[in-house]
Amino acid sequence: EPEVTQTPSHQVTQMGQEVILRCVPISNHLYFYWYRQILGQKVEFLVSFYNNEISEKSEIFDDQFSVERPDGSNFTLKIRSTKLEDSAMYFCASTLRTSGGADEQFFGPGTRLTVL
């Protein structure tokens, strides 16, 4: 069964450093998402991406964040200068389409980011 994959599973970084979180969505999916979950809190939407551009972004997704689909398979989230409060689990998700039905978003296993 196809699945969303994410690497690395755990990333430790120093405050102020740049990190890139990587995701490989399901191959025929067209819509991609990043969510984050701070420890003990709910899952929060960050950004959605379609047709090589951002569709929507939340207030959390400020100028420190960027997303990219550098090739036909990877979908990345970059945090330019990490802060302590960026420590969280980051989930990638993808879906085939969003119109005309409640298409399920398939979630990856997450990357745990720890900022020291």
Partner 1 sequence: AQSVTQLGSHVSVSEGALVLLRCNYSSSVPPYLFWYVQYPNQGLQLLLKYTSAATLVKGINGFEAEFKKSETSFHLTKPSAHMSDAAEYFCAVRNINNDMRFGAGTRLTVKP
Contacts of 27 (CB under 8 A, 6+ apart): 2, 73
Total residues in contact with partner 1, by rule CB under 8 A: 24
Does position 22 bind partner 1 by CB under 8 A? Answer: no
Does position 24 bind partner 1 by CB under 8 A? Answer: no
What Cα–Cα distance (Å) separates residue 93 from each residue in 20, 61, 86?
16, 16, 19
Please state the closest distance from residue 97 (CB atom) to partner 1, in A: 9
CA 19 to chain centre: 12
Would you tell me which residues interact with partner 1 (CB under 8 A)?
31, 33, 35, 41-45, 48, 55-56, 58, 91, 93, 98, 101-102, 104-110
